[in-house]
Structure 1
Amino acid sequence: MSGQTESLEGEGSLAERAYDALSRLVLTRKLPGGSLVVEGRLAEQLEISRTPIREAILRLAAEGLLIKQGSRSYAVRRVQAVEFFQALKVRELIEGEAVELAIGRVPQPLLQAMRDEVVALGREEVQNEAHWEMDDRLHLLFPEALNNGVMVRIIRELRRATRLFELTSPSGRVARDAAEHLAILDAVLEGSVRRARAAMVTHLRNVAAEMLDVMSGRDAAAPKRRSRS
Protein backbone atom coordinates (compact mmCIF):
# COMPACT_ATOMS: atom_id res chain seq x y z
CA MET A 1 0.00 0.00 0.00
CA SER A 2 2.82 2.42 0.91
CA GLY A 3 4.54 1.77 -2.43
CA GLN A 4 1.29 2.55 -4.27
CA THR A 5 0.88 5.77 -2.26
CA GLU A 6 4.44 6.87 -3.08
CA SER A 7 3.78 6.12 -6.76
CA LEU A 8 0.62 8.25 -6.74
CA GLU A 9 2.44 11.07 -4.95
CA GLY A 10 5.24 10.87 -7.51
CA GLU A 11 2.78 11.11 -10.39
CA GLY A 12 1.10 14.07 -8.73
CA SER A 13 4.36 15.96 -8.25
CA LEU A 14 5.39 15.23 -11.84
CA ALA A 15 2.04 16.57 -13.10
CA GLU A 16 2.53 19.72 -11.04
CA ARG A 17 6.08 20.10 -12.33
CA ALA A 18 4.87 19.66 -15.91
CA TYR A 19 2.13 22.24 -15.35
CA ASP A 20 4.55 24.80 -13.88
CA ALA A 21 7.08 24.29 -16.68
CA LEU A 22 4.53 24.42 -19.50
CA SER A 23 2.70 27.47 -18.12
CA ARG A 24 6.08 29.24 -17.78
CA LEU A 25 6.90 28.46 -21.42
CA VAL A 26 3.57 29.98 -22.48
CA LEU A 27 3.57 33.03 -20.21
CA THR A 28 7.18 33.98 -21.00
CA ARG A 29 6.40 33.65 -24.71
CA LYS A 30 8.87 30.83 -25.32
CA LEU A 31 5.78 29.21 -26.82
CA PRO A 32 4.15 32.16 -28.64
CA GLY A 33 0.50 32.44 -29.61
CA GLY A 34 -0.54 29.88 -32.20
CA SER A 35 2.29 27.46 -31.38
CA LEU A 36 1.28 23.82 -31.44
CA VAL A 37 1.82 22.05 -28.13
CA VAL A 38 3.39 18.72 -29.05
CA GLU A 39 3.17 16.21 -26.23
CA GLY A 40 6.15 14.07 -27.22
CA ARG A 41 8.44 17.02 -27.88
CA LEU A 42 7.58 18.60 -24.52
CA ALA A 43 8.10 15.31 -22.70
CA GLU A 44 11.58 15.08 -24.20
CA GLN A 45 12.39 18.77 -23.59
CA LEU A 46 11.23 18.74 -19.96
CA GLU A 47 12.39 15.18 -19.29
CA ILE A 48 8.96 14.23 -17.97
CA SER A 49 6.84 11.30 -19.16
CA ARG A 50 3.87 11.88 -21.44
CA THR A 51 1.12 11.26 -18.87
CA PRO A 52 1.99 14.26 -16.62
CA ILE A 53 2.50 16.38 -19.75
CA ARG A 54 -0.96 15.39 -20.99
CA GLU A 55 -2.47 16.32 -17.61
CA ALA A 56 -0.72 19.70 -17.72
CA ILE A 57 -2.01 20.37 -21.24
CA LEU A 58 -5.59 19.58 -20.23
CA ARG A 59 -5.27 21.80 -17.15
CA LEU A 60 -3.93 24.75 -19.15
CA ALA A 61 -6.67 24.24 -21.73
CA ALA A 62 -9.26 24.43 -18.96
CA GLU A 63 -7.64 27.68 -17.78
CA GLY A 64 -7.79 29.17 -21.27
CA LEU A 65 -4.07 29.33 -22.04
CA LEU A 66 -4.34 26.56 -24.65
CA ILE A 67 -7.09 25.94 -27.18
CA LYS A 68 -8.14 22.81 -29.03
CA GLN A 69 -6.56 22.59 -32.46
CA GLY A 70 -8.11 19.79 -34.48
CA SER A 71 -9.35 16.60 -32.88
CA ARG A 72 -6.49 15.80 -30.50
CA SER A 73 -3.92 18.62 -30.53
CA TYR A 74 -3.70 21.95 -28.70
CA ALA A 75 -2.15 25.34 -29.46
CA VAL A 76 -1.27 28.42 -27.42
CA ARG A 77 -4.19 30.85 -27.43
CA ARG A 78 -3.78 34.09 -29.36
CA VAL A 79 -5.01 37.29 -27.74
CA GLN A 80 -6.17 40.05 -30.07
CA ALA A 81 -5.82 43.78 -29.40
CA VAL A 82 -9.47 44.29 -28.46
CA GLU A 83 -9.25 41.66 -25.71
CA PHE A 84 -5.96 43.12 -24.44
CA PHE A 85 -7.41 46.62 -24.01
CA GLN A 86 -10.70 45.35 -22.58
CA ALA A 87 -8.79 43.26 -20.03
CA LEU A 88 -6.68 46.27 -18.99
CA LYS A 89 -9.84 48.35 -18.52
CA VAL A 90 -11.41 45.75 -16.26
CA ARG A 91 -8.14 45.44 -14.37
CA GLU A 92 -8.24 49.18 -13.64
CA LEU A 93 -11.53 48.69 -11.80
CA ILE A 94 -10.66 45.51 -9.93
CA GLU A 95 -7.00 46.17 -9.10
CA GLY A 96 -7.75 49.77 -8.12
CA GLU A 97 -10.32 48.43 -5.66
CA ALA A 98 -7.95 45.71 -4.43
CA VAL A 99 -5.06 48.05 -3.63
CA GLU A 100 -7.41 50.50 -1.89
CA LEU A 101 -8.96 47.83 0.32
CA ALA A 102 -5.55 46.28 1.07
CA ILE A 103 -4.18 49.44 2.73
CA GLY A 104 -3.04 48.44 6.22
CA ARG A 105 -3.38 44.71 5.52
CA VAL A 106 -0.01 44.01 3.90
CA PRO A 107 2.90 43.71 6.36
CA GLN A 108 5.31 46.65 6.05
CA PRO A 109 8.43 44.40 5.86
CA LEU A 110 6.88 42.57 2.88
CA LEU A 111 6.12 45.85 1.11
CA GLN A 112 9.63 47.14 1.78
CA ALA A 113 11.24 43.91 0.54
CA MET A 114 9.21 44.10 -2.66
CA ARG A 115 10.15 47.75 -3.06
CA ASP A 116 13.86 46.87 -2.81
CA GLU A 117 13.36 44.14 -5.41
CA VAL A 118 11.60 46.53 -7.80
CA VAL A 119 14.47 49.04 -7.45
CA ALA A 120 17.07 46.36 -8.19
CA LEU A 121 15.24 44.94 -11.22
CA GLY A 122 14.51 48.44 -12.52
CA ARG A 123 18.24 48.96 -13.10
CA GLU A 124 18.26 46.19 -15.71
CA GLU A 125 17.52 47.01 -19.33
CA VAL A 126 16.33 43.63 -20.56
CA GLN A 127 13.37 41.76 -19.15
CA ASN A 128 13.93 38.28 -17.79
CA GLU A 129 11.95 35.73 -15.81
CA ALA A 130 12.75 37.55 -12.55
CA HIS A 131 10.86 40.59 -13.88
CA TRP A 132 7.86 38.49 -14.88
CA GLU A 133 7.78 36.70 -11.54
CA MET A 134 8.04 39.92 -9.52
CA ASP A 135 5.35 41.56 -11.64
CA ASP A 136 2.97 38.68 -10.92
CA ARG A 137 3.65 38.83 -7.18
CA LEU A 138 3.16 42.60 -6.99
CA HIS A 139 -0.15 42.65 -8.84
CA LEU A 140 -1.54 39.70 -6.87
CA LEU A 141 -0.21 40.94 -3.52
CA PHE A 142 -3.21 43.15 -2.76
CA PRO A 143 -6.11 40.80 -3.60
CA GLU A 144 -4.29 38.02 -1.75
CA ALA A 145 -3.99 40.28 1.32
CA LEU A 146 -7.79 40.55 1.26
CA ASN A 147 -8.17 36.74 1.28
CA ASN A 148 -10.54 37.19 -1.65
CA GLY A 149 -10.12 34.07 -3.75
CA VAL A 150 -12.58 35.21 -6.41
CA MET A 151 -10.72 38.50 -6.91
CA VAL A 152 -7.37 36.69 -7.07
CA ARG A 153 -8.70 34.29 -9.71
CA ILE A 154 -10.22 37.06 -11.86
CA ILE A 155 -7.09 39.22 -11.74
CA ARG A 156 -4.89 36.23 -12.56
CA GLU A 157 -7.06 35.38 -15.59
CA LEU A 158 -7.07 38.99 -16.80
CA ARG A 159 -3.30 39.20 -16.39
CA ARG A 160 -2.91 36.09 -18.50
CA ALA A 161 -4.92 37.73 -21.27
CA THR A 162 -2.69 40.81 -21.23
CA ARG A 163 0.43 38.65 -20.95
CA LEU A 164 -0.49 36.62 -24.03
CA PHE A 165 -0.91 39.69 -26.24
CA GLU A 166 1.74 39.39 -28.93
CA LEU A 167 2.74 42.99 -29.52
CA THR A 168 6.12 44.12 -28.18
CA SER A 169 6.15 46.76 -25.47
CA PRO A 170 7.34 50.34 -26.03
CA SER A 171 10.94 51.35 -25.45
CA GLY A 172 11.74 52.29 -21.87
CA ARG A 173 8.84 50.30 -20.39
CA VAL A 174 11.14 48.37 -18.02
CA ALA A 175 12.23 51.58 -16.28
CA ARG A 176 8.71 53.02 -16.37
CA ASP A 177 7.28 49.80 -14.96
CA ALA A 178 9.69 50.11 -12.05
CA ALA A 179 8.83 53.78 -11.42
CA GLU A 180 5.09 53.08 -11.58
CA HIS A 181 5.35 50.02 -9.32
CA LEU A 182 7.33 52.09 -6.81
CA ALA A 183 4.60 54.75 -6.85
CA ILE A 184 2.04 52.05 -5.96
CA LEU A 185 4.17 50.56 -3.18
CA ASP A 186 5.10 53.95 -1.71
CA ALA A 187 1.45 54.98 -1.55
CA VAL A 188 0.56 51.72 0.21
CA LEU A 189 3.50 52.10 2.61
CA GLU A 190 2.27 55.59 3.47
CA GLY A 191 -1.29 54.36 3.90
CA SER A 192 -2.67 56.74 1.28
CA VAL A 193 -5.84 55.17 -0.12
CA ARG A 194 -6.36 57.84 -2.76
CA ARG A 195 -2.76 57.80 -4.02
CA ALA A 196 -2.57 54.00 -4.06
CA ARG A 197 -5.65 53.62 -6.22
CA ALA A 198 -4.58 56.47 -8.51
CA ALA A 199 -1.08 54.97 -8.92
CA MET A 200 -2.48 51.56 -9.88
CA VAL A 201 -4.94 53.03 -12.39
CA THR A 202 -2.27 55.34 -13.85
CA HIS A 203 0.09 52.39 -14.28
CA LEU A 204 -2.44 50.31 -16.22
CA ARG A 205 -3.56 53.28 -18.33
CA ASN A 206 0.05 54.07 -19.21
CA VAL A 207 0.57 50.50 -20.42
CA ALA A 208 -2.52 50.79 -22.63
CA ALA A 209 -1.55 54.21 -24.00
CA GLU A 210 1.99 53.14 -24.81
CA MET A 211 0.83 49.99 -26.55
CA LEU A 212 -1.45 52.15 -28.69
CA ASP A 213 1.63 54.19 -29.61
CA VAL A 214 3.41 51.01 -30.70
CA MET A 215 0.42 49.94 -32.80
CA SER A 216 0.25 53.36 -34.47
CA GLY A 217 3.99 53.32 -35.25
CA ARG A 218 4.90 56.12 -32.86
CA ASP A 219 7.34 53.85 -31.06
CA ALA A 220 8.88 52.17 -34.10
CA ALA A 221 12.36 52.17 -32.56
CA ALA A 222 11.25 50.10 -29.56
CA PRO A 223 13.39 47.07 -28.75
CA LYS A 224 11.69 43.69 -28.72
CA ARG A 225 10.39 43.57 -25.18
CA ARG A 226 6.93 42.41 -24.21
CA SER A 227 4.72 44.24 -21.80
CA ARG A 228 4.66 42.49 -18.42
CA SER A 229 1.67 44.22 -16.92
Structure 2
Amino acid sequence: MLNAPDKRLALQAYEQILELILGGSAKPGELVNERRLADALNMSRTPVRDALLMLEGEGLLLRQGSRGLQVKQMRIEDYMDALQVRLLLEPAVARMAAGKLPAATIAALREQIAEALAQAPGQPADRALVRDIDEGLHGAISDAVENQQLSSIIRTMRRQTQMFDLRAVPERLEDTCREHLEILDAVEAGNGEAAAQAMAAHLSRVRDSIINRLARL
Protein backbone atom coordinates (compact mmCIF):
# COMPACT_ATOMS: atom_id res chain seq x y z
CA MET A 1 0.00 0.00 0.00
CA LEU A 2 1.31 3.45 -0.92
CA ASN A 3 2.21 5.88 1.85
CA ALA A 4 0.87 9.45 1.67
CA PRO A 5 3.85 11.09 -0.14
CA ASP A 6 4.05 8.24 -2.67
CA LYS A 7 0.31 8.43 -3.26
CA ARG A 8 0.51 12.18 -3.89
CA LEU A 9 3.28 11.69 -6.45
CA ALA A 10 1.37 8.89 -8.16
CA LEU A 11 -1.74 11.10 -8.37
CA GLN A 12 0.34 13.95 -9.81
CA ALA A 13 1.74 11.60 -12.43
CA TYR A 14 -1.74 10.25 -13.11
CA GLU A 15 -3.17 13.73 -13.74
CA GLN A 16 -0.35 14.68 -16.08
CA ILE A 17 -0.48 11.45 -18.08
CA LEU A 18 -4.28 11.63 -18.22
CA GLU A 19 -4.01 15.11 -19.72
CA LEU A 20 -1.61 13.77 -22.36
CA ILE A 21 -4.17 11.11 -23.29
CA LEU A 22 -7.30 13.26 -23.21
CA GLY A 23 -5.50 16.14 -24.93
CA GLY A 24 -4.31 13.93 -27.75
CA SER A 25 -0.57 14.27 -27.10
CA ALA A 26 -0.47 10.54 -26.39
CA LYS A 27 -2.10 9.16 -29.54
CA PRO A 28 -4.53 6.22 -29.65
CA GLY A 29 -2.58 3.05 -30.36
CA GLU A 30 0.70 4.57 -29.15
CA LEU A 31 2.85 2.49 -26.81
CA VAL A 32 3.61 4.16 -23.48
CA ASN A 33 7.25 4.17 -22.42
CA GLU A 34 7.56 4.32 -18.64
CA ARG A 35 11.14 5.59 -18.61
CA ARG A 36 10.54 8.35 -21.17
CA LEU A 37 7.40 9.44 -19.32
CA ALA A 38 9.32 9.60 -16.04
CA ASP A 39 11.98 11.77 -17.70
CA ALA A 40 9.36 14.04 -19.28
CA LEU A 41 7.51 14.47 -15.98
CA ASN A 42 10.75 14.85 -14.01
CA MET A 43 9.74 12.01 -11.69
CA SER A 44 11.11 8.66 -10.67
CA ARG A 45 9.66 5.64 -12.42
CA THR A 46 7.80 4.37 -9.33
CA PRO A 47 4.98 7.00 -9.24
CA VAL A 48 4.75 6.87 -13.03
CA ARG A 49 4.37 3.09 -12.89
CA ASP A 50 1.64 3.46 -10.25
CA ALA A 51 -0.13 6.07 -12.38
CA LEU A 52 -0.01 3.83 -15.44
CA LEU A 53 -1.58 1.01 -13.45
CA MET A 54 -4.40 3.37 -12.42
CA LEU A 55 -5.00 4.35 -16.04
CA GLU A 56 -4.93 0.71 -17.09
CA GLY A 57 -7.57 0.00 -14.45
CA GLU A 58 -9.76 2.76 -15.93
CA GLY A 59 -9.46 1.25 -19.39
CA LEU A 60 -7.53 4.10 -21.02
CA LEU A 61 -4.40 1.98 -21.36
CA LEU A 62 -4.35 -1.61 -22.59
CA ARG A 63 -1.61 -4.14 -21.84
CA GLN A 64 -0.01 -5.60 -24.97
CA GLY A 65 1.94 -8.49 -23.48
CA SER A 66 5.69 -7.93 -23.40
CA ARG A 67 5.29 -4.74 -25.45
CA GLY A 68 3.84 -2.92 -22.44
CA LEU A 69 0.89 -0.51 -22.30
CA GLN A 70 -0.85 1.09 -25.24
CA VAL A 71 -3.22 4.07 -25.36
CA LYS A 72 -6.66 2.63 -26.07
CA GLN A 73 -8.12 3.26 -29.49
CA MET A 74 -11.64 4.34 -28.61
CA ARG A 75 -14.25 3.20 -31.10
CA ILE A 76 -17.62 4.92 -31.32
CA GLU A 77 -19.11 1.63 -30.09
CA ASP A 78 -16.98 1.87 -26.94
CA TYR A 79 -18.18 5.43 -26.42
CA MET A 80 -21.84 4.52 -26.83
CA ASP A 81 -21.52 1.52 -24.51
CA ALA A 82 -19.92 3.67 -21.80
CA LEU A 83 -22.52 6.40 -22.23
CA GLN A 84 -25.32 3.85 -21.96
CA VAL A 85 -23.92 2.75 -18.59
CA ARG A 86 -23.76 6.38 -17.50
CA LEU A 87 -27.39 6.89 -18.56
CA LEU A 88 -28.40 3.93 -16.42
CA LEU A 89 -26.44 4.98 -13.33
CA GLU A 90 -25.97 8.74 -13.15
CA PRO A 91 -29.62 9.87 -13.07
CA ALA A 92 -30.20 7.53 -10.12
CA VAL A 93 -27.06 8.84 -8.42
CA ALA A 94 -28.17 12.45 -9.00
CA ARG A 95 -31.48 11.59 -7.32
CA MET A 96 -29.62 10.10 -4.34
CA ALA A 97 -27.26 13.10 -4.11
CA ALA A 98 -30.02 15.72 -4.01
CA GLY A 99 -29.62 17.93 -0.96
CA LYS A 100 -26.27 16.38 -0.02
CA LEU A 101 -23.72 18.63 -1.74
CA PRO A 102 -21.96 21.08 0.62
CA ALA A 103 -22.63 24.76 0.00
CA ALA A 104 -18.92 25.40 -0.62
CA THR A 105 -18.83 22.73 -3.33
CA ILE A 106 -21.91 24.18 -5.01
CA ALA A 107 -20.42 27.69 -4.95
CA ALA A 108 -17.15 26.47 -6.47
CA LEU A 109 -18.99 24.62 -9.24
CA ARG A 110 -21.08 27.68 -10.06
CA GLU A 111 -17.92 29.79 -10.25
CA GLN A 112 -16.31 27.34 -12.69
CA ILE A 113 -19.38 27.30 -14.90
CA ALA A 114 -19.63 31.10 -14.89
CA GLU A 115 -15.96 31.30 -15.95
CA ALA A 116 -16.64 28.97 -18.89
CA LEU A 117 -19.75 30.89 -19.97
CA ALA A 118 -17.74 34.12 -19.89
CA GLN A 119 -15.37 32.89 -22.58
CA ALA A 120 -15.54 34.79 -25.84
CA PRO A 121 -18.09 33.31 -28.27
CA GLY A 122 -16.48 31.32 -31.05
CA GLN A 123 -13.23 30.83 -29.17
CA PRO A 124 -11.94 27.26 -28.67
CA ALA A 125 -13.02 25.75 -25.38
CA ASP A 126 -10.37 25.74 -22.66
CA ARG A 127 -9.85 21.97 -22.39
CA ALA A 128 -8.56 22.11 -18.82
CA LEU A 129 -11.52 24.23 -17.70
CA VAL A 130 -13.99 21.95 -19.48
CA ARG A 131 -12.48 18.92 -17.81
CA ASP A 132 -12.51 20.64 -14.40
CA ILE A 133 -16.21 21.42 -14.81
CA ASP A 134 -17.01 17.85 -15.84
CA GLU A 135 -14.90 16.36 -13.06
CA GLY A 136 -16.29 18.79 -10.52
CA LEU A 137 -19.99 18.31 -11.15
CA HIS A 138 -20.18 14.62 -12.03
CA GLY A 139 -17.51 13.69 -9.50
CA ALA A 140 -19.09 15.63 -6.64
CA ILE A 141 -22.50 14.10 -7.33
CA SER A 142 -21.21 10.53 -7.47
CA ASP A 143 -19.06 11.05 -4.37
CA ALA A 144 -21.99 12.51 -2.43
CA VAL A 145 -23.78 9.15 -2.28
CA GLU A 146 -20.77 7.66 -0.40
CA ASN A 147 -20.69 4.42 -2.38
CA GLN A 148 -17.09 3.79 -3.45
CA GLN A 149 -17.90 1.01 -5.91
CA LEU A 150 -20.57 3.09 -7.63
CA SER A 151 -18.28 6.14 -7.78
CA SER A 152 -15.48 4.02 -9.26
CA ILE A 153 -17.72 2.61 -12.01
CA ILE A 154 -19.01 6.07 -12.94
CA ARG A 155 -15.50 7.52 -12.91
CA THR A 156 -14.28 4.82 -15.29
CA MET A 157 -17.20 5.37 -17.65
CA ARG A 158 -16.62 9.13 -17.59
CA ARG A 159 -13.01 8.58 -18.58
CA GLN A 160 -14.15 6.55 -21.57
CA THR A 161 -16.59 9.22 -22.76
CA GLN A 162 -14.14 12.08 -22.15
CA MET A 163 -12.20 10.77 -25.14
CA PHE A 164 -14.97 12.31 -27.29
CA ASP A 165 -17.35 14.79 -25.62
CA LEU A 166 -16.42 18.48 -26.03
CA ARG A 167 -13.26 17.80 -28.01
CA ALA A 168 -15.48 16.14 -30.63
CA VAL A 169 -18.32 18.66 -30.31
CA PRO A 170 -16.75 21.95 -29.12
CA GLU A 171 -19.89 23.94 -29.96
CA ARG A 172 -21.62 22.24 -27.01
CA LEU A 173 -19.63 24.16 -24.39
CA GLU A 174 -22.40 26.68 -23.61
CA ASP A 175 -25.15 24.04 -23.74
CA THR A 176 -23.17 21.76 -21.43
CA CYS A 177 -22.65 24.56 -18.91
CA ARG A 178 -26.35 25.40 -18.85
CA GLU A 179 -27.30 21.72 -18.51
CA HIS A 180 -24.87 21.44 -15.61
CA LEU A 181 -26.53 24.43 -13.97
CA GLU A 182 -29.93 22.74 -14.28
CA ILE A 183 -28.56 19.64 -12.58
CA LEU A 184 -26.87 21.72 -9.89
CA ASP A 185 -30.03 23.76 -9.23
CA ALA A 186 -32.06 20.59 -8.67
CA VAL A 187 -29.42 18.97 -6.46
CA GLU A 188 -29.03 22.13 -4.39
CA ALA A 189 -32.80 22.37 -3.97
CA GLY A 190 -32.95 18.77 -2.78
CA ASN A 191 -35.29 17.84 -5.65
CA GLY A 192 -34.19 14.30 -6.46
CA GLU A 193 -36.62 13.69 -9.31
CA ALA A 194 -35.69 16.94 -11.06
CA ALA A 195 -31.98 16.15 -10.57
CA ALA A 196 -32.43 12.71 -12.14
CA GLN A 197 -34.37 14.15 -15.08
CA ALA A 198 -31.82 16.92 -15.67
CA MET A 199 -28.94 14.43 -15.58
CA ALA A 200 -30.69 12.06 -18.01
CA ALA A 201 -31.48 14.95 -20.37
CA HIS A 202 -27.87 16.17 -20.26
CA LEU A 203 -26.37 12.77 -21.06
CA SER A 204 -28.96 12.13 -23.78
CA ARG A 205 -28.07 15.44 -25.44
CA VAL A 206 -24.37 14.58 -25.31
CA ARG A 207 -25.15 11.24 -26.99
CA ASP A 208 -27.35 12.86 -29.64
CA SER A 209 -24.75 15.52 -30.44
CA ILE A 210 -22.13 12.86 -31.12
CA ILE A 211 -24.55 10.90 -33.33
CA ASN A 212 -25.39 14.07 -35.27
CA ARG A 213 -21.72 14.93 -35.70
CA LEU A 214 -20.96 11.45 -37.02
CA ALA A 215 -23.91 11.63 -39.42
CA ARG A 216 -22.40 14.76 -41.00
CA LEU A 217 -19.00 13.14 -41.63
Provide the TM-score with structure 1 as the length reference: 0.81
The code of the aligned residue for 2:163 comes to: L
1:130-180 deviation per Cα after TM superposition (whole angstroms, max 9, x unaligned): 220221120021221111111100100110111234994235211111111
1:90-129 deviation per Cα after TM superposition (whole angstroms, max 9, x unaligned): 2112110111111111123422331232122122242321
The code of the aligned residue for 1:170 comes to: V
The code of the aligned residue for 2:94 comes to: V
User: Which residue among 84, 90, 95 is the counterpart of 1:89?
Assistant: 84
Asked if residue 45 in structure 1 is aligned to residue 45 in structure 2, the reply is no
C-alpha contact (below 8 Å) 1:170/1:214 kept by paired residues: yes
Shift in CA distance, 50/109, structure 1 to aligned 2, threshold 3 Å: closer
CA RMSD of aligned residues (A): 2.4
Q: Which residue of 1 aligns with 2:126?
A: 127
Counterparts of 1:75-224 in structure 2, within 5 Å, are: 75-124=70-119, 125=123, 126-165=125-164, 168-217=167-216
C-alpha contact (below 8 Å) 1:80/1:165 kept by paired residues: no
Shift in CA distance, 89/14, structure 1 to aligned 2, threshold 3 Å: closer
C-alpha contact (below 8 Å) 1:18/1:53 kept by paired residues: yes
- Unaligned 5+ segments in structure 1 are 1-7, 221-229
Q: Which is richer in helix?
A: 2
Q: Give the Cα separation in 2 of the matches to 1:166 and 1:140.
A: 16
Q: Give the Cα separation in 2 of the matches to 1:132 and 1:184.
A: 17
Shift in CA distance, 52/146, structure 1 to aligned 2, threshold 3 Å: closer
The total of aligned residue pairs comes to 211
Secondary structure, counterpart of 2:66 in structure 1? coil
C-alpha contact (below 8 Å) 2:59/2:160 kept by paired residues: no
**Identity value in percent:** 34
Q: Give the Cα separation in 2 of the matches to 1:146 and 1:11.
A: 28
Q: Which has the larger Rg?
A: 1
User: Which residue among 53, 63, 72 is the counterpart of 2:67?
Assistant: 72
- Unaligned 5+ segments in structure 2 are none
Shift in CA distance, 146/15, structure 1 to aligned 2, threshold 3 Å: closer
The code of the aligned residue for 2:95 comes to: E
1:69-106 deviation per Cα after TM superposition (whole angstroms, max 9, x unaligned): 35132211122111211211221121101111111111
Asked if residue 23 in structure 1 is aligned to residue 18 in structure 2, the reply is yes
C-alpha contact (below 8 Å) 1:103/1:188 kept by paired residues: yes
C-alpha contact (below 8 Å) 1:33/1:166 kept by paired residues: no
C-alpha contact (below 8 Å) 2:99/2:191 kept by paired residues: no
Q: Give the Cα separation in 2 of the matches to 1:181 and 1:140.
A: 12
